[in-house]
Amino acid sequence: MRFTRCVHAAALFALALIFSIPANAQAPTDSTETLKVVRTEGEKTLSEPTLLAMTGLTAGSQVSPRDLQAAADRLVQTGLFAKVDYKFSSRAEGLTVTFHVEESPRLPVYFDNIPWFADSELADAIRKTLPFYDGTLPEAGAAVDQVADAVRDFLKQHNLDVSVGHQVLASVLTEGNLQMYSIEGASLQIAKMEFADASLTDSKVVRQHLADIIGKPYSRMAIDLFLSEQIRPVFLQKGNLRAKLGPPEVRLTGNPNQKLPDQIPVFVPVDSGPVYRWKDTQWTGNTVLSTITLNGLFGLKPNDVADGMVIQAAWERVTEEYGQHGYLDVKVDPNPTYNDANHTVSYAVRIQEGTQFKFRKMVLTGISLAGERRLLQVWTTTAGEVFDKTKFEDLLTQLQAHPAQIFGELPIHYEEVGHWLRKDDATGTVDVLLDFK
């Protein structure tokens, strides 16, 4: 007799029907049968022995329907599985159960402010509790909490009694999210930051930027963000498009058995790489704007130093140019090709123009009728006209910085203006929504 169950299926009573139940038995869910075989299927990153251990079931034991459901629930509660089904069959020699799992998406684990230990040391400590730990975890679940407990216990062994929390955050360096662990209750500061490239330390611009982070609370994420936003542009402007910064290192000295220091020195490995020169751009997918127009948006000529900040600004200008023509969902996908023999760079840029939107109406809330009339007089785009996104952005700038240019002497008072573009892909129209607060 075979049955299949999902962990979220209905009553356990139906599950109990597979067992031979004496007339004088208690509740059907309390009846037991010998478990002969337990199998798993569907796992990708985890092994079958690992899954079997998580179920808590062992061959040869007596199990009830309640036990099978509890085993499936345990798998779900870890957070490691998006879905768990199980099927079973009863024979004279015993019960065979197979769990089918779909693993949850994983996020890379990121330790933010635990500077005294390498990630590898923390990983070793975690694997004492979760042997399958591979540096990734789901967004939530018991496994995520168990990692926090393992890190907390490891720190306590080193005389640091702190709480360990976790949260899902957007990655600073890559696309997607990460599972970040951080400690609470420790007063850590960035004591200094040194670079492998002496020219950075000698740079006046870099020294000015360092004042923004030295003495601030120690945080790997803050350091990564600082390097990405303040230091990397120094290299990009010089054409070092493939410069490598970090990962930052903490180089502590002294007796590791003494009190862990709270003043943290940071060292940043640097590989500036070659200086690249601009070669050209090949465009595909553009029908609204010509190649000549698109090339004209660049501030670089062949053989110029390939200033990475200028290149980034060019992609933004392309997006803005399409926005002026009503293309609000345009996607600009630049793919560089580096010629390391000649130290030149060229880009193959794929354009997905999307729908051209036309203006339909403006919806205003939180403003008087007199103010509404004055604003509609300033907004010159009429219904059915191609929507120019730059005019919309100019209007927002006026509302925030120069409201008198719009309202004159009218007693209009607000602190901020909520703004939305409500697009209708089916009709190719867009409404402007402004909420005065």
Which residues are bridge partners to 347 per DSSP? 281, 336
Q: What share of the chain is helix, strand, coil (3-state, %, to 5)?
A: 30, 30, 40
pLDDT at residue number 258: 63
Q: What type of residue is 257?
A: N
Banded model confidence at residue 25, pLDDT cuts 50, 70, 90: very low
Do 112 and 99 share a structural domain? no
In contact, 400 and 329? CB cutoff 8 Å = no
Do 340 and 326 share a structural domain? yes
Positive or negative: CA dihedral 379, 380, 385, 391: negative
pLDDT at residue number 19: 37
Number of DSSP helices (H) and strands (E) in the chain, helices first: 14, 20
Positive or negative: CA dihedral 248, 334, 170, 208: positive
Which CATH number characterizes residue 261's domain? 3.10.20
SS3 of 181, please?
Answer: strand
Distance (Å, whole) CA 97 – CA 89: 7
Tally of domains in the chain:
5
In contact, 273 and 249? CB cutoff 8 Å = no
- Which residue, 238, 271, 304, sits at the end of a domain? 271
pLDDT at 4 over 70: no
Comparing 396 with 31, the larger pLDDT belongs to 396
Do 202 and 263 share a structural domain? yes
- Which residue, 229, 254, 271, sits at the end of a domain? 271
Among 104-108, 191-195, 203-207, 326-330, name the one with the lowest average pLDDT. 203-207
Q: Which DSSP letter does residue 259 get?
A: P
Do 266 and 296 share a structural domain? no
Say how many C-beta atoms besides its own lie within 10 A of residue 213's C-beta.
19
Instruction: Quote the tokens at residue 315.
Output: 């992609």
Residues found in the chain: 437
> Span 116-134, mean pLDDT?
94
Distance (Å, whole) CA 234 – CA 217: 24
Do 95 and 60 share a structural domain? yes
pLDDT at residue number 12: 34
pLDDT at residue number 198: 83
Of 229, 275, 223, nearest to 249 by C-alpha is: 223
Do 112 and 26 share a structural domain? no
- Which residue, 271, 298, 325, sits at the end of a domain? 271
Angle formed at CA 158 by CA 156 and CA 161, multiple of 5 degrees: 35
| 354 φ/ψ angles, rounded to the nearest 5 degrees | 75, -155
173-227 per-position pLDDT tens digit: 888 999 999 998 778 899 999 999 888 878 888 888 898 899 999 999 999 999 9
Instruction: Quote the tokens at residue 162.
Output: 């702190």
Distance (Å, whole) CA 306 – CA 342: 13
Which residues are bridge partners to 190 per DSSP? 264
- Name 352's Cβ contacts closer than 8 Å, sequence gap at least 6: 285, 330, 331, 333
Distance (Å, whole) CA 243 – CA 235: 7
Do 379 and 332 share a structural domain? no
Distance (Å, whole) CA 12 – CA 370: 66
Q: Which percentage of the chain shows pLDDT scores above 70? A: 92
Comparing 7 with 315, the larger pLDDT belongs to 315
pLDDT at residue number 91: 84
Mean pLDDT of the chain: 88
Among 9-23, 266-280, 282-296, 406-420, name the one with the lowest average pLDDT. 9-23
Q: What type of residue is 391?
A: K
Among 103-107, 254-258, 357-361, name the one with the lowest average pLDDT. 254-258
Distance (Å, whole) CA 233 – CA 231: 6
pLDDT at residue number 115: 92
Instruction: Quote the tokens at residue 216.
Output: 């601030």
Distance (Å, whole) CA 108 – CA 247: 15
Do 145 and 92 share a structural domain? no
Q: Which percentage of the chain shows pLDDT scores above 90? A: 73
SS3 of 144, please?
Answer: helix
| Domain span holding position 364 | 358-436
Do 150 and 117 share a structural domain? yes
> Span 107-120, mean pLDDT?
94
pLDDT at residue number 18: 37
Instruction: Quote the tokens at residue 61.
Output: 């034991």
Which residues are bridge partners to 333 per DSSP? 350
> Span 81-92, mean pLDDT?
89
pLDDT at 264 over 80: yes
* pTM for the model: 0.76
Of 223, 229, 209, 211, nearest to 264 by C-alpha is: 223
In contact, 13 and 72? CB cutoff 8 Å = no
H/E run at residue 15:
helix 13-16
pLDDT at 417 over 80: yes
Do 411 and 344 share a structural domain? no
Comparing 185 with 348, the larger pLDDT belongs to 348
In contact, 377 and 417? CB cutoff 8 Å = no
pLDDT at residue number 121: 95
How deeply is 329 buried, as exposed, middle or buried, from its count of CB atoms within 10 A (0-12, 13-18, 19+)?
Answer: middle
- Name 286's Cβ contacts closer than 8 Å, sequence gap at least 6: 294, 351, 353
Which CATH number characterizes residue 410's domain? 3.10.20.310
Do 222 and 292 share a structural domain? no
Do 92 and 21 share a structural domain? yes
